[in-house]
Homo-oligomer: A and B are copies of this chain.
Amino acid sequence: MSQVKPHTLSGFMELLPEEQNMMERLLDTLRRSYALYGFTPLDTPVIESADVLLAKGGGETEKQIYRFRKGDSDLALRFDLTVPLAKYVALHANELTFPFRRYQIGKVYRGERAQRGRFREFYQADIDVIGDGKLDIMNEAEIPAVIYRTFHALGLEKFRIRVNNRKVLNGFFAILGLTEQAGDVMRTVDKLEKIGPDKVRAILTEDFAVPAAAADELLSFISCPGSSADKLSFLETYRGRNDIFDAGLTELATVVNYVSAFGVPEANFEVDLTIARGLDYYTGTVYETILTDHPEIGSICSGGRYDNLAEYYTDRTLPGVGISIGVTRLFYVLQEQKMLSEEILTAPADAVVIPMGADCTAFAVETATVLRAAGVRTQVYFEERKFKQKIGFADRSGIPFALIIGSDEAAEGVAGVKDMATGEQRKLAPADAAAYILSALEARKNCRVITD
């Protein structure tokens, strides 16, 4: 028979079972955390009509998109979860209740140049709150709580949610007389962390004709030191000079004001005036989240407020606020940084029942049935092998408990329950074995995915 060499495409993550179990725990934690905040799960097709996905069009998207024909149809794979959400909300607006809060965790596709740590197929985990016509600022104030609880539930402690407000920046640019260059200025400011203040200053003055004094004031403005409260006080000194600025400052103050009522510790939150998040989409609060010990990784959860989700599909004004976690990249980074818990249970089962001979099979099956009914994830090792190989199976698969059943045990109605980590063994009836295993594993099952 002619054979094909099995391979997985470059840029496509495919995990081994232990890793996949860890990923499942991560995804499950995201689902639970998002659901706790009243976001409803959504699922949309991976394939959409190309005209729908490319309604906005332009730029990197068109280059990277997977687009193809099938019969008469011009199709494409979704490259994010925001465009499908816009389509969904525009299409089903009359059947939804607003504000509409949804989460979606799904694969998206971008034909990027392959490079280490970059994926062409990757999971995004998004939440958005969509209003009908308008949306209260308090929805923006709630987002840091969702981010905090989500990463806290994953096991992270050393992270910081940074917020800013686009109106504050745009208003300040107007105060400096830079409204015309606002886009260029915003893009340049976004590079501050990467290239440093000197280069930012040079680009502003040389490339975008920003007067030196304005560039200096801008740099000193965004680098304002101190706590979030200090920064708000500093911003108040500019109040009254521009309406957009004032509106943004009031919004930012509201977000800061409610952070602790929402349960976010001060250490995990800060106002950061350098955050701009791209150019034309966001219109209010913007968010980034960094690992404080690994700022070089960049933001692991970003988003912001936008004024009109679905303008390419409907005249209905649908403002919203949302954030996105690039899960596949996050998982990759956590693996690289050895930040995934080694305590967590990644075995395919909690227990393996091993009948030592054909006469023990029936009791082994009954034992497994009791364990499963009690909620113990159980395999039975049915293969005819030597004793050593049978026990070796539990070891190789990392299954924490082996229940060895020989003729004597079967006759007695017990199993030799072996703790594979300690080697300790005790004879227990099936129901007792189930209780013993569940109790022994309780701590490991509640273990969080990440250690930092």
User: Which residues of A are in contact with B by a Cβ distance under 8 Å?
Assistant: 1, 3-9, 12-17, 20-21, 23-24, 35-49, 51-52, 55, 66, 68-71, 73, 75, 86-88, 90-92, 95-97, 99, 101-102, 107, 109, 111, 121, 131, 134-136, 138-139, 142, 145, 149, 258, 261-263, 310-315, 347-349, 352, 361-362, 365-366, 369, 372-373, 375-384, 393, 396-397
Residues from chain B with a CB closer than 8 A to the CB of A376 are: 36
Q: Are B47 and A17 interface neighbours, CB within 8 A?
A: no
* Cβ contacts A to B, 13 pairs, < 8 Å: A3-B311, A5-B313, A6-B86, A8-B45, A12-B45, A12-B47, A16-B95, A20-B41, A38-B378, A97-B396, A97-B397, A99-B382, A258-B362
Given contacts A263-B373, A377-B35, A52 and B7 within 8 Å (CB-CB): yes
Given contacts A35-B377, A38-B352, A47 and B87 within 8 Å (CB-CB): no
Q: Which of B75, B314, B380, B384 contacts A142 (CB 8 A)?
A: B380
A419 to B: closest C-beta gap in Å: 18
In the assembled complex, the Cα of A47 lies from the Cα of B135 at a distance in Å of: 39
Residues from chain B with a CB closer than 8 A to the CB of A381 are: 99
Closest chain B residue to A257, Cβ basis:
B362
In the assembled complex, the Cα of A335 lies from the Cα of B88 at a distance in Å of: 21
Given contacts A12-B47, A90-B6, A312-B4, A139 and B375 within 8 Å (CB-CB): no
Residues from chain B with a CB closer than 8 A to the CB of A70 are: 66, 111
Question: Which 3 A-B pairs rank lowest in CB-CB distance, beginning with the nearest?
Answer: A68-B68, A38-B379, A38-B349
Q: Are A261 and B90 interface neighbours, CB within 8 A?
A: no
Given contacts A46-B121, A55-B3, A97-B396, A377 and B8 within 8 Å (CB-CB): no
Q: Are A40 and B21 interface neighbours, CB within 8 A?
A: yes
Residues from chain B with a CB closer than 8 A to the CB of A377 are: 35-38
Q: Which of B6, B88, B261 contacts A314 (CB 8 A)?
A: B6
Residues from chain B with a CB closer than 8 A to the CB of A369 are: 145, 261-263
Residues from chain B with a CB closer than 8 A to the CB of A378 are: 36-38
In the assembled complex, the Cα of A44 lies from the Cα of B20 at a distance in Å of: 10
Residues from chain B with a CB closer than 8 A to the CB of A6 are: 52, 86-88, 90-91, 310, 313-314
What number of copies of this chain does the assembly contain? 2
Residues from chain B with a CB closer than 8 A to the CB of A46 are: 46, 107, 121
In the assembled complex, the Cα of A382 lies from the Cα of B374 at a distance in Å of: 43
A400 to B: closest C-beta gap in Å: 12
Given contacts A35-B377, A111-B70, A111-B71, A101 and B55 within 8 Å (CB-CB): no
Task: Supply 17 further A-B pairs (C-beta < 8 A) apart from A1-B312, A138-B365.
Answer: A3-B311, A3-B314, A6-B52, A8-B45, A12-B47, A16-B96, A23-B43, A37-B377, A45-B121, A46-B121, A68-B68, A97-B397, A99-B381, A136-B384, A138-B382, A142-B365, A142-B380
Q: Are A42 and B71 interface neighbours, CB within 8 A?
A: no
Residues from chain B with a CB closer than 8 A to the CB of A97 are: 393, 396-397
Q: Which of B136, B262, B361, B379 contacts A101 (CB 8 A)?
A: B379
Q: Are B4 and A262 interface neighbours, CB within 8 A?
A: no
Residues from chain B with a CB closer than 8 A to the CB of A5 are: 313
Closest chain B residue to A14, Cβ basis:
B44
In the assembled complex, the Cα of A70 lies from the Cα of B383 at a distance in Å of: 45
Given contacts A8-B87, A16-B92, A91-B7, A39 and B348 within 8 Å (CB-CB): yes
Residues from chain B with a CB closer than 8 A to the CB of A313 are: 3-6
Given contacts A14-B45, A136-B383, A263-B373, A51 and B4 within 8 Å (CB-CB): yes
Given contacts A20-B42, A23-B43, A38-B352, A49 and B375 within 8 Å (CB-CB): no
